[in-house]
Amino acid sequence: MLSQKVVLTAPNGMHARPAGELVKLVKSLDGKILFATPAKQVAASSILALLSLGLKCGTEIEISADGGSEQENLQRVVAFVESIKE
């Protein structure tokens, strides 16, 4: 399992639209992706679970890739999270 910490810079936090896109991306990967905050850890393939983390602008998230091409999966998810601008 590979992990990386990312600070969410999207001004509106992880809201419905980007979360929907993120879930789509995660589902297309060949391994599992987990999102963790100090409070809890969830599978990023569930939009409800993701939104329930309440990720605001400035929240630090630990993203983990488990199984499959971990390195590439992790990189793609991290790049997506960093690219959310709305």
| Residues tagged active-site | 15
CA atoms within 13 A on the CB side of 59: 21
* Using rule CB under 8 A, residue 14 touches another protein: yes
Site pattern 17..46 for another protein (x: CB under 8 A): x-xxx-xx------------------x-xx
Under 8 Å CB-to-CB from 11, ≥6 apart: which residues? 57, 85, 86
Kindly list the residues in this chain that would bind another protein in the complex (CB under 8 A).
Answer: 9, 11-17, 19-21, 23-24, 43, 45-49, 51-52, 54-56, 79-80, 82-83, 85
